[in-house]
Structure 1
Amino acid sequence: MDVPEPREISDATLAEMVRTVEPTWDLREAVPVERGFCSVSRVVVDDGGASRTLYLKASPDGDPRSIPTEARLQAVLDARTSIPVPEVLGVVDDGDALPTPYYLMTALPGEAVAYERVCRLDDDALRRLARETGRYLAELHSVPAVDRFGLVRHDGPELTGERPSGDPRPLTVAGSREEWPSYLREYAARELDRLADSRFSDLASDLNRWVEKRLDALHGPFEPVLGRNDHGLHNLLVDPETGEITAVLDWGYTLAAPAAFDFEFAVYIYGGAFLAGLPDVPDRRPLVREAMLSGYRTAAPDRAEAVSTPVPLYGALAAARIMNDFRHLDVPDGCEAAVMDRIRADVRSLVDG
């Protein structure tokens, strides 16, 4: 994917962007924030004599990308679930004078920690994080919003500074498929094509054959639900000592998929298997799976059966994504070969098993 550099936005422009959402607010301070490829700023505004800290998220280059959908999704989740998402105060979808699209949202407490730090949480903290993840996924999967498979988008009216509705009905699915195996075959083909050009290209041919056999054996029924699809500590705010999740951020890649697909990706990522090649990092997928199931059952006991049985195909595709993005992992110096060997062995155990 072509990832642009986030563009710089002047304080004067940010002040105008804030006033478009709320004309009575004056900008006191603005600080750029490193968060993905979007242009994100922490802004402090004067709200009738009191200061208020907010965040403004804008397109990095004028391309809408998923920013308008992300704002609507957060509004839906804020209205219909207990998932801790920032409250969206206003959205501006288009305009010639300002760097649109963008939206303004509230700040939530918690610490932003690196993706790889999940491997360093102690068992109790990881268990809590996994249990809360399971509960939040159960709530997400229960929102009645989609009836096809694919990336979630919206088909509502354009906004010029207003708050988005919490109504899920304008949510739609781009390039949708009615049949999950058809969509998953295309999804898997993209990941495996990338794998052939990665540092794990030696696995591509065998994994492709293994995936094809599993795709042929898939049988439903399959129910599309809103899926997180972008799991990782980098998209959360947490208390790293306790594992409490205080904010779930960045919803731009939400995917309509079966609940089990979303669940298995979370188990793989939070289980830390991708860094288990380090001598002091265990593979804690069993701990994470058990805790996630516990949390899922508390929020949606009637849906838990759909995620209770592991699906190796989905776990393999989660591993493929890690391999494709391996260059972005922060691996300790001198340990890359060991980590890569462990990932290869993990995938080989599936392919040869």
Structure 2
Amino acid sequence: MDEVPEARAIPDPTVEEMVRTVEPGIEVERAVPVERGFCSVYRVAVEGGPTRTLYLKASPDGERWGIPDEARLQAVLHDRTSIPVPEVLGVVDAHGDLPAPFYLMSALPGEELPYEHVGRFDDDALRRLARETGAYLGELHSVPAVDSFGHVRHDGPGLAGDRPSGHPDTLTVGNPRESWSDYLRAYADREFDRHADSRFSDLTPDLTRWFEAGVDDLAGPFDPVLGRNDHGLHNFLLDPESGSITGMIDWGYTLAVPASFDVEFAVYVLGGAYLAGLSDVQDRRSLVREAMLSGYRASAPDRTDAVATPDPLYEMLAMVRLMNDFGSLDLPEGTEEAAADRIREDARELLAGDRYG
């Protein structure tokens, strides 16, 4: 796995030049760094008529880190769906002097909440979030963009400040796999390698055997679709009054996968099972699944059958990924052991149960 760099600070004059590379003639009033993972992200207030807010996202070290691909994908979703994604104003794939690749995008309204806050929503708020997520996933899965499995990449000319095309044929799959089981095995191997170094490593052998015993018994269809994959609450913007989704951000980890794989990851993350070890948090996967399917059915009725039946193997992989990232959770002081114990118990129940019962 590639070593993840830290976000680098970009001097104000350089930020201004980057913005003007995309939108000549506007003046930067101020630029404020924003913590969004390891990429360098700046909230930029610009003049040129009424002051407006934009976001600049740049590589931390000159490597791609999916930035050009994310920009093209967001352009497709902005043009082809009602999914609330930032409008991409322009992309610079390479530059001799500026920290490329980078792109400039519009700001969206709404409030960003921590990943763990999903356990604090009341049932009505969580049901609304899940229903709207399901509807947007139905739209995402309906975009005709991929025909094999793997990481979504862009397939088109390099850009030097222009807006990317919003046509799905600008997207492709890097290192594509035609076989879903082959791709899934490679995906699982990477996650199990990480799992063997986690605090849950005592479970790694049993989880690996359980996966191998079931991967060939998966029921299709295995049609590749654009999969959001990164469903953490921190990647949503919400209206603080209504709780409705006003933005879905950070698309750099989009995969081409079967729709059911993507939906199971969303159900696990938004259902909050990994927080159920806390005394005041419930496992609400059933509530989330029902609401998500309701929304999915509304936007993609012809696809709903493909996601209606959950597969425990996909749920297990979502659980493994959460265990691998457990150290990143911001838990109340003194609750880490209880949360970890509940996740471990959940995994053992899955291993002991009827796989399709």
TM-score (norm 2): 0.97
- 8 A contact 1:119–1:272 mirrored in 2: yes
**Paired residue secondary structure (1:343):** helix
TM-fit CA distance, 1:155: 1.4
The residue that corresponds to 2:64 in the other structure is 64
* 1:45-194 to 2 correspondences below 5 Å: 45-47=46-48, 49-194=49-194
The residue that corresponds to 1:304 in the other structure is 304
TM-fit CA distance, 1:344: 0.7
**Paired residue secondary structure (1:50):** coil
CA distance in 2, matches of 1:290, 1:165: 36
CA distance in 2, matches of 1:141, 1:219: 18
Name stretches of at least 5 consecutive residues in structure 1 with no aligned partner.
none
- 8 A contact 1:125–1:241 mirrored in 2: no
CA distance in 2, matches of 1:100, 1:74: 18
- The Cα offsets for residues 162-192 of structure 1, whole Å up to 9 and x where unpaired, read as 0000011021111110010110011111111
Q: What amino acid is aligned across from residue 40 of structure 1 in structure 2?
A: V
* 1:1-353 to 2 correspondences below 5 Å: 1-47=2-48, 49-239=49-239, 242-353=242-353
**Structure 1 residue ranges (4+ consecutive) displaced by more than 3 angstroms after TM superposition:** none
Q: What amino acid is aligned across from residue 268 of structure 2 in structure 1?
A: Y
CA distance in 2, matches of 1:37, 1:189: 24
Q: What amino acid is aligned across from residue 25 of structure 2 in structure 1?
A: T
**Paired residue secondary structure (1:169):** helix
- 8 A contact 2:93–2:100 mirrored in 1: yes
RMSD: 0.9
Q: What amino acid is aligned across from residue 89 of structure 2 in structure 1?
A: L
CA distance in 2, matches of 1:228, 1:20: 30
- The Cα offsets for residues 259-285 of structure 1, whole Å up to 9 and x where unpaired, read as 000000000000000110011100000
CA distance in 1, matches of 2:117, 2:303: 30
TM-fit CA distance, 1:240: 5.1
Q: What amino acid is aligned across from residue 114 of structure 1 in structure 2?
A: P
TM-fit CA distance, 1:216: 2.3
Going from structure 1 to structure 2, the CA distance change for 1:2 and 1:334 (only over 3 Å counts) comes to: same
CA distance in 2, matches of 1:165, 1:206: 46
**Paired residue secondary structure (1:55):** strand
CA distance in 1, matches of 2:7, 2:280: 36
CA distance in 2, matches of 1:170, 1:76: 8
**Paired residue secondary structure (2:24):** coil
CA distance in 2, matches of 1:213, 1:16: 55
CA distance in 2, matches of 1:21, 1:80: 23
Q: What amino acid is aligned across from residue 221 of structure 1 in structure 2?
A: P
- 8 A contact 1:128–1:242 mirrored in 2: no
Q: What amino acid is aligned across from residue 171 of structure 1 in structure 2?
A: L
TM-fit CA distance, 1:65: 1.3
Name stretches of at least 5 consecutive residues in structure 2 with no aligned partner.
none
Q: What amino acid is aligned across from residue 36 of structure 1 in structure 2?
A: G
- The Cα offsets for residues 27-84 of structure 1, whole Å up to 9 and x where unpaired, read as 111100011110000011111x421110000001110110000000000000000000
% identity of equivalent residues: 69
Aligned length: 352
TM-score (norm 1): 0.98
- 8 A contact 1:89–1:163 mirrored in 2: yes
